Amino acid sequence: MLALTNIKKSFGQNEVVKGITLNIEKGEAFGLLGPNGAGKSTTISMICGLVPYQDGDILVDGVSVKKEPQLIKKKIGVVPQDIALYPTMSAIDNLIFWGQMYGLKSKEAKNRAKEVLEIVGLLDRAKDKIETFSGGMKRRINIGAALLHKPELLIMDEPTVGIDPQSRNHILETVKSLNEQGMTIIYTSHYMEEVEFLCKRIAIIDYGQLIASGSKKELTNRLSGGKVLHLVADQVKPAFLMGLKSMDGVENVTVQQESDIDVFLQNHKEPLADIVLLANQSGVKLQQIQLQEPNLETLFLQLTGRSLRD
């Protein structure tokens, strides 16, 4: 459904996408992860034909975005991170408007708007103004707007940011259902558990480069350390960090926040006594020590040195 081949993009002297190659199959739910500023949004904008790419090519269902941008836009639905709705208009009028912007005739847009409201579970609020909706309901209508023209490829950029758990669960179940019906989905999120729930394959982008891609099992198998020791300290001193990094059995050390430290361990070694001794010698008080099994969050931390939510 989607093929990126050595895609590059620069803004002035700043190269933000550095030769990404990626393939997504028809009917696949694909997770696209990366820290803020990694190049995800630029990559999505290039797929949609909103930002031109300088090298390589992007094919959607075998058609080049560069050569046939209007044809591509008919195949793609985009759910932006920001709410793209008119607050003083009703839910159904918003959807009819966006349906007509996609090229649907008036009657077809109205019928499709009703269908979409049923898909997102808000048909009973069709005539209510968007400004009366909760944040979660607005996001559900935002998703509905991207479905009006029955896209083959749906791109979702942080669709559950800042909403209540009930709306979040409804959105996840809706996306899963759309995918089970055959829609190809690209899903970006700061919540790893959402990506794990929806996506069979995942790609991680950092500093404009694709640094990992594969299934959850394939990615977690890449972890060089057997486990992760999560430490919470009263303070993080340079001497303590240097001591951890030079310790036998430690593969890598990352500081998530001011007091949270993740220690990646090699070969299932657990130098717990040495770490406690080092903390005492460094004047650092350990408030919590937790041994964790490796997961996608662990891999993300090890590859990027940052938490997904940073």
Nearest CA to 202 out of 62, 24, 59 is that of: 24
Calculated CA dihedral for residues 221, 47, 91, 102, nearest 10 degrees: -150
Residue-wise pLDDT for 32-51, tens only, equals 988 888 889 899 999 999 99
Residue 212 pLDDT more than 60?
Answer: yes
Half-sphere exposure of 201 (CA within 13 A, CB side): 16
Compute the average pLDDT of residues 246-260.
81
Residue 268 pLDDT more than 70?
Answer: no
Confidence bin at 224 (pLDDT 50/70/90): low
- Pick one of 3.40.50.300, 2.120.10.90, 1.10.10.60, 3.30.43.10 as the CATH number of 2-219: 3.40.50.300
Using alpha carbons only, what angle is made at residue 80 by residues 75 and 81, rounded to the nearest 5 degrees? 155
Q: What is the pLDDT of residue 53?
A: 93
Cβ atoms of residues 60 and 155 within 8 Å = no
Residue 310 pLDDT more than 60?
Answer: no
Residue 267 pLDDT more than 70?
Answer: no
Nearest CA to 40 out of 203, 256, 151 is that of: 203
Cβ atoms of residues 294 and 223 within 8 Å = yes
Residue 257 pLDDT more than 80?
Answer: no
Average pLDDT, rounded, for the chain: 89
Nearest CA to 272 out of 220, 225, 305, 228 is that of: 228
**Least confident among 85-89, 131-135, 245-249, 297-301:** 297-301
Q: What is the pLDDT of residue 306?
A: 66
Q: What is the pLDDT of residue 269?
A: 65
Q: Is the dihedral of CA 17, 23, 28, 30 positive or negative?
A: negative
Residue 292 pLDDT more than 70?
Answer: yes
Nearest CA to 96 out of 107, 83, 82, 80 is that of: 107
The token pair at 110 is 């109205």
Residue-wise pLDDT for 65-114, tens only, equals 999 988 998 999 999 888 999 999 999 999 999 999 999 999 999 999 99
Residue 8 CB coordination number (10 Å): 16
Reading phi first (left if > 0) and then psi (alpha if -120 to 50, else beta), residue 121 is in left
Residue ranges per structural domain of the chain: 2-219, 224-293
Q: What is the pLDDT of residue 210?
A: 93
The highest-level CATH class for domain 224-293 is alpha beta
Q: What is the pLDDT of residue 60?
A: 96
CA distance 160 to 140: 9
Q: What is the pLDDT of residue 280?
A: 92
Q: Which amino acid is at 281?
A: Q
Q: 3-class DSSP state for residue 232? A: strand
